[in-house]
Amino acid sequence: MFIDLSKYMLADADYKSADGVIISIPYDETTSFKPGARDGGKAIREASWGLESYSPILDRDLTEVKYCDLKDLDLYGNQKDIFNLITNTIKNILNDGKKPIIFGGEHSITFPIIKAVKEIYNDFIVIQFDAHCDLRDEYLGNPLSHACVMRRIYEINKNIFQFGVRSGDKEEWEFIKKCNIYSKQRLLNEEDIDIIKDINKPIYVTIDIDVLDPAFAPGTGTPEPCGFTTKELFNSLYLLRDVKDMIVGFDIVEVAPIYDLANITAITAAKIARELMLMIL
Amino acid sequence: MFIDLSKYMLADADYKSADGVIISIPYDETTSFKPGARDGGKAIREASWGLESYSPILDRDLTEVKYCDLKDLDLYGNQKDIFNLITNTIKNILNDGKKPIIFGGEHSITFPIIKAVKEIYNDFIVIQFDAHCDLRDEYLGNPLSHACVMRRIYEINKNIFQFGVRSGDKEEWEFIKKCNIYSKQRLLNEEDIDIIKDINKPIYVTIDIDVLDPAFAPGTGTPEPCGFTTKELFNSLYLLRDVKDMIVGFDIVEVAPIYDLANITAITAAKIARELMLMIL
Amino acid sequence: MFIDLSKYMLADADYKSADGVIISIPYDETTSFKPGARDGGKAIREASWGLESYSPILDRDLTEVKYCDLKDLDLYGNQKDIFNLITNTIKNILNDGKKPIIFGGEHSITFPIIKAVKEIYNDFIVIQFDAHCDLRDEYLGNPLSHACVMRRIYEINKNIFQFGVRSGDKEEWEFIKKCNIYSKQRLLNEEDIDIIKDINKPIYVTIDIDVLDPAFAPGTGTPEPCGFTTKELFNSLYLLRDVKDMIVGFDIVEVAPIYDLANITAITAAKIARELMLMIL
Amino acid sequence: MFIDLSKYMLADADYKSADGVIISIPYDETTSFKPGARDGGKAIREASWGLESYSPILDRDLTEVKYCDLKDLDLYGNQKDIFNLITNTIKNILNDGKKPIIFGGEHSITFPIIKAVKEIYNDFIVIQFDAHCDLRDEYLGNPLSHACVMRRIYEINKNIFQFGVRSGDKEEWEFIKKCNIYSKQRLLNEEDIDIIKDINKPIYVTIDIDVLDPAFAPGTGTPEPCGFTTKELFNSLYLLRDVKDMIVGFDIVEVAPIYDLANITAITAAKIARELMLMIL
Amino acid sequence: MFIDLSKYMLADADYKSADGVIISIPYDETTSFKPGARDGGKAIREASWGLESYSPILDRDLTEVKYCDLKDLDLYGNQKDIFNLITNTIKNILNDGKKPIIFGGEHSITFPIIKAVKEIYNDFIVIQFDAHCDLRDEYLGNPLSHACVMRRIYEINKNIFQFGVRSGDKEEWEFIKKCNIYSKQRLLNEEDIDIIKDINKPIYVTIDIDVLDPAFAPGTGTPEPCGFTTKELFNSLYLLRDVKDMIVGFDIVEVAPIYDLANITAITAAKIARELMLMIL
Amino acid sequence: MFIDLSKYMLADADYKSADGVIISIPYDETTSFKPGARDGGKAIREASWGLESYSPILDRDLTEVKYCDLKDLDLYGNQKDIFNLITNTIKNILNDGKKPIIFGGEHSITFPIIKAVKEIYNDFIVIQFDAHCDLRDEYLGNPLSHACVMRRIYEINKNIFQFGVRSGDKEEWEFIKKCNIYSKQRLLNEEDIDIIKDINKPIYVTIDIDVLDPAFAPGTGTPEPCGFTTKELFNSLYLLRDVKDMIVGFDIVEVAPIYDLANITAITAAKIARELMLMIL
């Protein structure tokens, strides 16, 4: 008789029976330019109710998969406390044999998530869709800033695949060259998938919504022109079907509804979540 | 470890132990000019988290009262079906000895609510804060429009006290005179309270947020200039302390967040709810 | 000395001499998710004044064609009353040998329009541009919802051509397969035109603005990611030049200015109207 | 069967029979800080439809008075051409024995209006409600700027009554003292009305919407804090009932909808127009 | 030939000759609910250009006083680093015999400012205008949060005068009673001024813009209903003329332009700055 | 210790040593439809701080080039006065052997700029990116309107290359044909560059931001559907590398932040400026 529209659409499974576990992490404290990503999770969930549960591309319906929605992680204390909480939470979900589906929050949260993935899987691949390298060694004095997240991740796991990056400072691009990081200005294509398939390791996917062009995703803190259309991004993501069984979880970060227009960024993020859940669960 | 910010702040009681029961009714289909009140409940709940739980005026804290939040009534079917659902829901809450706290939705929902109150209490008082009389016999062909709600209520319960009304068509004002309805352009004052106290009957309070001036409550469908400040409204509501034990429930309607600014209308509605809950629970 | 900017640009013909008749239908009452399409017509008209009257693609100017603008249909009563009014109005225009150009309002209005077309032409083609199938049998208890409009139309006219559809529930996609409906996720191309030309029947065109990607048409109630650019849509529409003499009227629906940005959705709709009027009048 | 919502509500009289003639002047070219007043008339008209036609304070209904709405003056050429057009238009209306009701546009338009009033009435009173003196001798090199309008008017008619002025440069305040201009920081009160009544001359009223506090009228180009509430302004305007037969016309200027919130500035302007029309027609 | 509109209006003095020194501190990292105050200084400066330089109340013009504008403090590092930078900057300004005029940023910055004042003046008065007590001992684990700023200040200087406070948690109100803090829900009045005058010590004034009602100052992170009008606040501030020679500096904090409407909050803050500068310089 | 974010990022050179000189011209007085371009320069500068200083495409960093930012030209007087000031300012910059980088303002300012270029270089090429021909002989009575700018320029310099034009009145398109103007609806490609290279003359580039599709650049006064993506525009601009030594200056006009969304238009303009500066300085 009553309905809770603050969950992701149809997230009706209980934790025990769920194969996927949605959580959100309302953290954006290192965001230097324009904060607001803390409200991303809420916006994505609300937007999900405007979508259908059925994907005509995948010919599958959300009613066919089992997932629950635990809502916002309750943050408290300084960055270290919060990052420990994130790592522990994700570790528990992975330990329970479930796939975490995380809505940010800013991109810095992916580092404590990856620390949890590292503890469980040790050797794995990170696929990143992002307009920015996020490979700085520190930013405004903070090595755990969202501008440094992939640098920190690289330090504990070298298997990084970057797609869509079109912005960074000079040192970041030199670091890419020096370390021979797999970093492309274009989106993931079939050749990339073949390479990833050959490596044959667990995969974690992190999607910074700013990989899309600002016209398609205005609701983000550091929009970067010359990005991709939603159609291009989805076509790239559909290629992941080839490795879907290897994917152990994913996040969608940097959705900042305060800068959004008619919720289109949140709706797009909600549709990405739907398609990926329909693939991997 | 997780927190649900989509409930009204601290609504942690279970239904059994709760003295107050918050529900929202996302209905705005008869709104002729500018719809959007369907999202009022969600906005009020979210805004509540920006308030303190303590009222320095009442010297009482929400942690001292017991209430739960059932979220949105799940609407389906035509207006008649929906209104029946509302009446049944409220009747159940009242039957369980609890006080309903309803977030609209548009004002038309107060009629099915009052039908439930009528079934339980038979003889009672309705106190209305509103910029508009809402006494039309029909509007755009619909006798259950939000512009007619007090006319329908008047037909089943004559004890109506209107405050803040400053707009209506000629026929409505003539109806007030003809029926000698207790209708004031000013807000409720101490004399009014004395009269109401003397009647000594159960009281239901309905607050159309547009009783406030549009500067204080822009987020509503039919803003009417020359209204009241929030301070004036709260000072009037505090007078209800004298009859607080008689109050069996209340609603706050016509909050339409799409027209709001920085959530100030929703925050104000959330504060009205806090103060009234601290009074009557 | 005075100018009326609330008409579509240069709609200076009188009804008698007009070949095209613009009307708007400010109806959005079945819109479940986000209403606001009722103001679409007003927005399209105002936006038209920011365009040139000349089309460099068609090398034709609006001063060379004759059309009038009757403004908003004055709605009253329940859905049945309103739909009858729509059918009668369109029938009169068609009977007078003129082509109706209708600005919505939500998509549900196309059903009573098609009923009028049916009465005049009996056997005809409906070309639909839309992100959604709109083929549900009923929605929230209402078989005349905007989500059901093409299902209702299909029941009275089987010649439906759908383009751009990328969202729907599972039953709708199964209905398409079962009934072998001409439904494409891509836009209309030259092959489609050849098929339509071969059928050689009167054509009615209905354009739900959400066929465009939300980046290009944010001002709509159910934006669906992965849509088309304006350039892609216009290139598709220009193909209709091959059958322009068969087109008996068209509508543009679901423009909801409250969600729009800098009027770009309304401007685009106004330009669609200009190009189609320059083609068919 | 069709309705034109782009007129002021119920402006159904034809010019011949009308006692009041509404026009708008979409001019804001001298606005230095934030333009946008050109769209004021359109916004006021649209907003009028959200009001009732009946005034409970005046106990009179718009259906009892006769007025037409000629819409936007069609401007062309430089400032001199445009001002001549304004003067001629107003002179014609006054010559026809009708009262002009003008929606701005910026305040500079009141000078050519007053030139028309001067030609017809020669000796008359100008009552101004405004946050600013508007008494500069020139502004950014232009003596016909909106910041100079009352200086220009003063040069052709000394009977100026200023109310609500709370901002100006030092020279303007010295000019007020030197010329002994009737200029008050407060609103018009009963003593003022007695003085005005004693002078016993035709009265023209010009209302710059920024006389209201920005909280009540954010939709204007030069909002000035510490202004008045709508209730205070209306109470002041109601005092004009004592001289209503002397009022030959009025304007409401500087409504700039682009800065407005939920149309509250336009609604307030529309309500001012309703009350003044109900008084003077 | 070129003009820099990014300074506060007419801030043309060089540092040496300036009596007042404007700086802004773009810090809002402890803001829990809605960040954005970091952009307050920029918004206040831009808004200042829409005001006149002359105050008719004080009969003084900004051209008669000497002040410079050093723009944004360049923040780097963690909260401790930033607070040290603030303290040192203010100490230098005070040491140079100048009065600091600080635009926030969030309220937490007032603590390092007061530390500088403490080092120079040792014994002094802090006058606070604020909707909130800001007397928590810690907030979300941080004792230097903006919700704790007055608690920290109280620990180093007991002479606190709070005005306009209408929100806080229970412990804060008990702390006020226990410590007998001079804390009023109303604004500063003439009696208060007499008390302050009698103490006869240097005065620092801190103004949290949320002391105003949200209708008058929507552009702030934690708007609290039932506040004051701008007129009431200015009338209260004008009472400070009696102690103007004792005032050694002031700040205006918590202006968050992202939530503002038509810049009215920033314009009001700019006018507060103008009036206080005209008083104390 | 202090930072001035109102300059274009890193514009730290002094005028003497600068190779590039940024100025802005806050002029939009002839804008007929929707003014606001006057604030374009401010918006572009602020947005620049959200970008990196390094271009991965050009592999060059802004720290490697020398430019200063003189901010807003201080406009005064009528259009003639203002245009003379513009011409003189640009002439001085060119005479000093520096390249002017101009942020509009509306497009009309390019005429007085070109007059300065004419005085210095006499024979040169103008490359225009624009949605509109801007070839009218006069507009609303003004031959110096932004709708006429290329016509005026053509009269003093025939070497015009237009790209992206998709809108204009019939006379403009006939003028193009009659005068055989190099005008393309597509963007500049490699063939065009070859032709331009062969002419081998100094080049001035003028970019009306509305050459982009409204989805990518909503913040402009006359958005025209069916435009280009940012990626397409940048790819076209990168072709100018072949003639970069011939480019003597450029402008970016018609950015109107009031219609913008999340600053994406301003960010795009700032990135265009970065790439062109990295090319030509």
pLDDT tens per residue across span D258-281: 999 999 999 999 999 999 999 999
Q: Do F214 and C264 touch (CB under 8 A)?
A: yes
Cβ contact D212:D268 at 8 Å: yes
C132 annotated as a binding-site residue: yes
Statement: residue D34 has pLDDT above 90: no
Statement: residue A192 has pLDDT above 80: yes
Statement: residue D32 has pLDDT above 80: no
Cβ contact E257:E266 at 8 Å: yes
**Cα–Cα distance list, F31 to B76, D183, F34 (Å):** 50, 36, 6
Q: Do F223 and C262 touch (CB under 8 A)?
A: yes
User: What value, to the nearest 5°, has the Cα angle with vertex E154 and ends E150 and E155?
Assistant: 125
User: What CA–CA distance (Å, rounded) separates A1 from A3?
Assistant: 7
Tokens of C222: 């159910």
For D177-233, what is each residue's pLDDT tens digit?
Answer: 999 999 999 999 999 999 999 999 999 999 999 999 999 999 999 999 999 999 999
Q: What pLDDT is recorded for position A1?
A: 84
Beta bridge partners of C203: C125, C247
Q: Do B140 and C81 touch (CB under 8 A)?
A: no
- Chains A and C touching, counted as 3 or more CB pairs less than 8 Å apart: yes
Q: Which of B100, F266, B265 is nearest to D261 (CA)?
A: B265
For F192-250, what is each residue's pLDDT tens digit?
Answer: 999 999 999 999 999 999 999 999 999 999 999 999 999 999 999 999 999 999 999 99
Which residues from A are below 8 Å from E36, CB to CB?
35
User: How many CA atoms, within 13 angstroms, populate the side-chain half-sphere of residue D121?
Assistant: 25
E141 falls in which pLDDT band (50, 70, 90)?
Answer: confident
For F15-71, what is each residue's pLDDT tens digit?
Answer: 999 999 999 999 998 886 788 999 999 999 999 999 999 999 999 999 999 999 999
Burial-class residue B234 by CB neighbours within 10 Å (0-12, 13-18, 19+): middle
Q: Do E262 and D218 touch (CB under 8 A)?
A: yes
Sign of CA dihedral C123, C128, C133, C139: negative
Which helix (H) or strand (E) segment holds residue D203: the answer is: strand D203-208
* Cβ neighbour number for residue C232 with a 10 Å cutoff: 18
Q: Do E141 and A81 touch (CB under 8 A)?
A: yes
F146 annotated as a binding-site residue: no
Mean pLDDT, chain A, whole residue set: 96
Query: Any idea what DSSP says for residue D132?
Result: B
Query: Any idea what DSSP says for residue B140?
Result: T
Q: Who among E2, E5, E71 is closest to F2 (CB)?
A: E71
Q: Which of C7, C11, C47, C22 is nearest to C219 (CA)?
A: C47
Statement: residue E24 has pLDDT above 90: yes
Domains and CATH numbers, chain F: 17-280 (3.40.800.10)
ipTM of the predicted structure? Answer: 0.95
**Cα–Cα distance list, E11 to D33, D257, E18, E206 (Å):** 19, 32, 9, 21
Statement: residue B168 has pLDDT above 90: yes
Chain C from 21 to 50: CB within 8 A of any D CB? 23, 42, 46
Among C42, C74, C78, C83, pick the best mutation site for testing chain B contact (most B Cβ within 10 A).
Answer: C78
Q: Do F267 and A227 touch (CB under 8 A)?
A: no
User: What CA–CA distance (Å, rounded) separates B74 from E257?
Assistant: 37
For E35-47, what is each residue's pLDDT tens digit?
Answer: 899 999 999 999 9
Q: Do F78 and D141 touch (CB under 8 A)?
A: yes
Tokens of D187: 């609103």
User: What CA–CA distance (Å, rounded) separates A71 from A53?
Assistant: 19
Q: Give a three-class secondary structure readout of C117-166.
A: HHHHHCCCEEEEECCECCCCCCECCECCCHHHHHHHHHHHCCCEEEECCC
Give the pairing type, strands A60-61 and A54-55.
antiparallel
Sign of CA dihedral E7, E8, E11, E16: negative
Q: Which of F6, F8, F4 is nearest to F274 (CA)?
A: F8
Statement: residue A31 has pLDDT above 90: no
Q: What pLDDT is recorded for position F77?
A: 86
Chain B from 196 to 215: CB within 8 A of any E CB? 213, 215
Q: Who among F166, F168, F218 is closest to C261 (CB)?
A: F218
Average pLDDT over residues F104-110: 97
Which residues from F are below 8 Å from D141, CB to CB?
76-78, 81
User: What CA–CA distance (Å, rounded) separates E78 from C38?
Assistant: 52
Statement: residue F151 has pLDDT above 80: yes
Among F27, F32, F78, pick the best mutation site for testing chain D contact (most D Cβ within 10 A).
Answer: F78
User: What CA–CA distance (Å, rounded) separates D55 from D61?
Assistant: 6
Cβ contact F78:F142 at 8 Å: no
Q: What pLDDT is recorded for position A86?
A: 98
The percentage of chain F sitting over the pLDDT mark of 90, rounded to a whole number, equals: 93
Query: Any idea what DSSP says for residue D142?
Result: B
Which residues from A are below 8 Å from E35, CB to CB?
28, 35-36
Chains that touch B (3 or more CB pairs under 8 A): A, C, D, E
- Distance from the E9 Cα atom to the nearest Cα atom in chain A, whole angstroms: 26
Q: How far apart are the first and last CA of chain A?
A: 29
D134 annotated as a binding-site residue: yes
* Cβ neighbour number for residue B72 with a 10 Å cutoff: 23
Q: What pLDDT is recorded for position A35?
A: 84
Tokens of A95: 């330990």
Q: Do C34 and A53 touch (CB under 8 A)?
A: no
User: How many CA atoms, within 13 angstroms, populate the side-chain half-sphere of residue E139?
Assistant: 23
Q: Do A225 and F216 touch (CB under 8 A)?
A: yes
User: How many CA atoms, within 13 angstroms, populate the side-chain half-sphere of residue C53?
Assistant: 13
Packing angle, helices C149-156 and C110-121, rounded to 10: 10
Statement: residue E78 has pLDDT above 80: yes
Statement: residue D52 has pLDDT above 90: yes
Q: Do E74 and F23 touch (CB under 8 A)?
A: no
Q: Give a three-class secondary structure readout of chain F.
A: CEECCCCCCCCCCCCCCCCEEEEEECCCCCCCCCCCHHHHHHHHHHHHCCCCCEECCCCEEHHHCCEEEEEEECCCCCHHHHHHHHHHHHHHHHHCCCEEEEEECCHHHHHHHHHHHHHHHCCCEEEEECCECCCCCCECCECCCHHHHHHHHHHHCCCEEEECCCECCHHHHHHHHHHCCEEECCCCCHHHHHHHHHHCCCEEEEEEHHHECCCCCCCCCCCCCCCECHHHHHHHHHHHHHHHHHEEEEEEECCCHHHCCCCHHHHHHHHHHHHHHHHHC
E33 falls in which pLDDT band (50, 70, 90)?
Answer: confident
For B132-159, what is each residue's pLDDT tens digit?
Answer: 999 999 998 899 999 999 999 999 999 9
Q: What pLDDT is recorded for position B77?
A: 86
For E88-138, what is each residue's pLDDT tens digit?
Answer: 999 999 999 999 999 999 999 999 999 999 999 999 999 999 999 999 999
- Distance from the C275 Cα atom to the nearest Cα atom in chain F, whole angstroms: 12
Q: Who among B169, B215, B259 is closest to D52 (CB)?
A: B169
Tokens of E275: 């009036």
For A216, residues 6+ apart whose C-beta sits below 8 A from its C-beta are A227, A228, A229, A230, A264, A265, A268, C213, C214, C215, C225
Q: Who among A75, A77, A141 is closest to E78 (CB)?
A: A141
Q: What pLDDT is recorded for position C172?
A: 97
User: What CA–CA distance (Å, rounded) separates A109 from A28?
Assistant: 9
For E168-203, what is each residue's pLDDT tens digit?
Answer: 999 999 999 999 999 999 999 999 999 999 999 999
Tokens of B211: 């009783």
Q: Who among E50, E54, E59 is closest to D33 (CB)?
A: E50
Tokens of D254: 């500087």
Tokens of D138: 């020139």
Statement: residue D71 has pLDDT above 90: yes
B86: three-class secondary structure by DSSP: helix
Cβ contact D114:D128 at 8 Å: no
Give the pairing type, strands F182-184 and F99-104.
unpaired
Average pLDDT over residues A89-99: 98
Which residues from D are below 8 Å from E61, CB to CB?
169-170
Q: What pLDDT is recorded for position D269?
A: 98
Q: What pLDDT is recorded for position C140?
A: 85
Task: Please indicate whether residue A35 or residue E53 has the higher confidence score (pLDDT).
Answer: E53
E246 falls in which pLDDT band (50, 70, 90)?
Answer: very high
Chains that touch E (3 or more CB pairs under 8 A): A, B, D, F
User: What CA–CA distance (Å, rounded) separates B268 from E20?
Assistant: 38
Tokens of F41: 């320069």
Q: How far apart are the first and last CA of chain F?
A: 29
Burial-class residue C199 by CB neighbours within 10 Å (0-12, 13-18, 19+): middle
Which residues from D are below 8 Å from F145, CB to CB?
none
Statement: residue A32 has pLDDT above 80: no
Q: Give a three-class secondary structure readout of C220-280.
A: CCCCCCCCECHHHHHHHHHHHHHHHHHEEEEEEECCCHHHCCCCHHHHHHHHHHHHHHHHH
Which residues from C are below 8 Å from D5, CB to CB?
6, 42, 71-72
**Torsion angles phi and psi, residue A265, rounded to 5:** -65, -45
Which residues from F are below 8 Å from C213, CB to CB?
215
Packing angle, helices C230-238 and C264-280, rounded to 10: 10
For C171-203, what is each residue's pLDDT tens digit?
Answer: 999 999 999 999 999 999 999 999 999 999 999
Helices (H) and strands (E) in chain C, counts: 8, 11
Which residues from A are below 8 Å from C173, CB to CB?
54, 56, 59
Statement: residue F140 has pLDDT above 90: no
D77 falls in which pLDDT band (50, 70, 90)?
Answer: confident
Among D10, D213, D261, pick the best mutation site for testing chain B contact (most B Cβ within 10 A).
Answer: D261
- Distance from the D246 Cα atom to the nearest Cα atom in chain E, whole angstroms: 33
Is B78 touching C (CB cutoff 8 A)?
A: yes
Statement: residue B32 has pLDDT above 80: no
User: What value, to the nearest 5°, has the Cα angle with vertex E37 and ends F5 and E46?
Assistant: 50
Which residues from E are below 8 Å from B234, CB to CB?
225-226
Q: What is the largest CA-CA distance in chain A?
A: 60
Which residues from B are below 8 Å from A42, CB to CB?
5-6, 46
- Distance from the A75 Cα atom to the nearest Cα atom in chain F, whole angstroms: 28
Q: Do F56 and A218 touch (CB under 8 A)?
A: no
Statement: residue F172 has pLDDT above 80: yes
- Chains D and A touching, counted as 3 or more CB pairs less than 8 Å apart: no
Statement: residue E7 has pLDDT above 90: yes
Q: Who among F3, F4, F72 is closest to E5 (CB)?
A: F72
Cβ contact C267:C51 at 8 Å: yes
B35 falls in which pLDDT band (50, 70, 90)?
Answer: confident
**Torsion angles phi and psi, residue E280, rounded to 5:** -100, -10
Q: What pLDDT is recorded for position E156?
A: 96
User: What CA–CA distance (Å, rounded) separates E209 from E221?
Assistant: 10
Per-residue tens of pLDDT for chain C, all 281 residues: 899 989 999 999 999 999 999 999 999 988 867 889 999 999 999 999 999 999 999 999 999 999 999 999 999 888 999 999 999 999 999 999 999 999 999 999 999 999 999 999 999 999 999 999 999 999 988 999 999 999 999 999 999 999 999 999 999 999 999 999 999 999 999 999 999 999 999 999 999 999 999 999 999 999 999 999 999 999 999 999 999 999 999 999 999 999 999 999 999 999 999 999 999 99
